[in-house]
Structure 1
Amino acid sequence: MSVIHLEAAGQEALARAEKLLGEIPGGVEKAVRSAMARSVAHLRTGSVRAIRERYDISAANVRADENVFVRYSYQNGVQATVTFAGRRIPLYRFGGASPSRPSGRVSAWGHALKSTSPTQFLNAFVARMPPPASHTGIFERTGAKTSGGKDQIRELFGPAVPQMLGSRDVEERLSREAMEKFEDRLDHEINAILNGWRKRL
């Protein structure tokens, strides 16, 4: 699990919002909440971009196994706690996985990091699992037997989304970029509310 905390309290941007929207009922709260929601959306997009800087994986495959939970608090400003969770991602979903079609006879290749070349797994193969799993993955034989006498296999996985975000430097950079987005968006929200209010007068 990876957690990034965003907090807007006491900043110059909030003081400006209170000064400009103070006479509009609910104006400050509306502007701040909307700006923070956009900031969180920016953070989520940025997290995928940060992962793909280092890992050979498509945005769609990141999002497929990404669970994001957002909790807001509106005491003394506005805070958002963004939690990234999710299981380890099948190695087959990373770039460089081959063969592209299931085969039980050909050695499989795969890797997770962009900085490495795909590795050949001599005792592994690409296969599509039957329902209810129904997904394609890279599997290797463990050398053991199942209770039915068949070769026991296990799927190979890359890291999970929280592991790929993992670095504190990455989390701090994403937080900083999200708060810059908050301040930019807050100005937009202030102007939109002011324009709407003036039209009513």
Structure 2
Amino acid sequence: MIEITNQQIERVNLILGGIKNAPNKVFYNTINRGLATVRSKSGKMIRETYRIKQKDITSNRNMKVKRASSSKLEGQIEFGGAVIPLIKFKVTPSQPKRKVVSVSVLKNEGAKRLQSAYVANLGRYGVGVFERMTRKRETSQQLFGPSTAHMMENEEVLQKVEAAAQETVNKRIEHEISRILNGYV
């Protein structure tokens, strides 16, 4: 959670209290800039922790942004989306072959061998990592990794994104005060 402290609120009210709606403009612009930072940094921070490409994060991400306004000084971002096929992470072999499949989802962990899994191109499903549930051929099931929302819930990713957004909010308050004092309203 990113917050504006009481000291920051008091400082803005002290400096801009005499200008109509100026404190609210400072806060909603600051909050919205913080939301933009979360939105832009989330993919980068996920890629620092997980073995996945940006295009695979973006294609499976569902992000709802509720921006702040002068009447409602709070914003929110919700991440959602479907689980991502395991083939989008680091998989060896990455093409259909008859070898034991090794998978690495997190960068700080080594690859894990999946004994009963195989890489195949099953037509409508495309290339993926599959596992047979029984001895019958028709019982294959595709394996998936975490969704973007689950990756964002990772403590390491969340801390990095929150730190970047909090830094933006702290800098942006000073910038917004300067803008209003210089006549850019």
TM-score band, normalised by shorter chain: 0.7 to 0.9
Q: Deviation at 1:86?
A: 2.5
Indicate the residue corresponding to 1:64 in structure 2: 59
Indicate the residue corresponding to 1:187 in structure 2: 174
Q: Structure 2 CA distance, aligned partners of 1:106 and 1:166?
A: 33
How many residue pairs get matched?
185
Indicate the residue corresponding to 2:47 in structure 1: 52
Q: Structure 2 CA distance, aligned partners of 1:65 and 1:197?
A: 39
* Larger helix fraction of residues: 2
Q: Does 1:98 align with 2:85?
A: no
Q: Does 1:142 align with 2:133?
A: yes
Q: Structure 2 CA distance, aligned partners of 1:104 and 1:143?
A: 20
Q: Structure 1 CA distance, aligned partners of 2:67 and 2:77?
A: 9
Q: Does 1:154 align with 2:141?
A: yes
Q: Structure 1 CA distance, aligned partners of 2:135 and 2:119?
A: 19
Q: Structure 1 CA distance, aligned partners of 2:184 and 2:43?
A: 38
Q: Structure 2 CA distance, aligned partners of 1:11 and 1:181?
A: 17
Structure 2 runs not aligned, ≥5 long = none
Q: Secondary structure at the match of 1:159?
A: strand
Q: Structure 2 CA distance, aligned partners of 1:39 and 1:6?
A: 8
Does the 8 Å CA contact 2:46/2:157 hold for their aligned counterparts? Answer: no
Q: Structure 1 CA distance, aligned partners of 2:103 and 2:156?
A: 27
Indicate the residue corresponding to 1:34 in structure 2: 29
Q: Deviation at 1:182?
A: 0.8
* AA of the residue aligned to 2:27: V
Does the 8 Å CA contact 2:87/2:94 hold for their aligned counterparts? Answer: no
TM norm structure 1: 0.70
Indicate the residue corresponding to 1:117 in structure 2: 110
Q: Structure 2 CA distance, aligned partners of 1:93 and 1:170?
A: 19
Q: Structure 2 CA distance, aligned partners of 1:169 and 1:58?
A: 18
Q: Does 1:16 align with 2:45?
A: no
When the two chains are superposed, the root-mean-square deviation of aligned CA atoms in Å is 3.3
Q: Secondary structure at the match of 1:175?
A: helix
CA deviations over 1:9-38 (Å, ceiling 9, x no partner): x62223333344344444332322121111
CA deviations over 1:158-197 (Å, ceiling 9, x no partner): 1223333335576456435423321211211222233244
Q: 1:71 to 1:14 in 2, by over 3 A?
A: same
Indicate the residue corresponding to 2:2 in structure 1: 6
CA deviations over 1:45-79 (Å, ceiling 9, x no partner): 44334433432223332333222223356699822
TM norm structure 2: 0.75
Q: Secondary structure at the match of 1:125?
A: strand
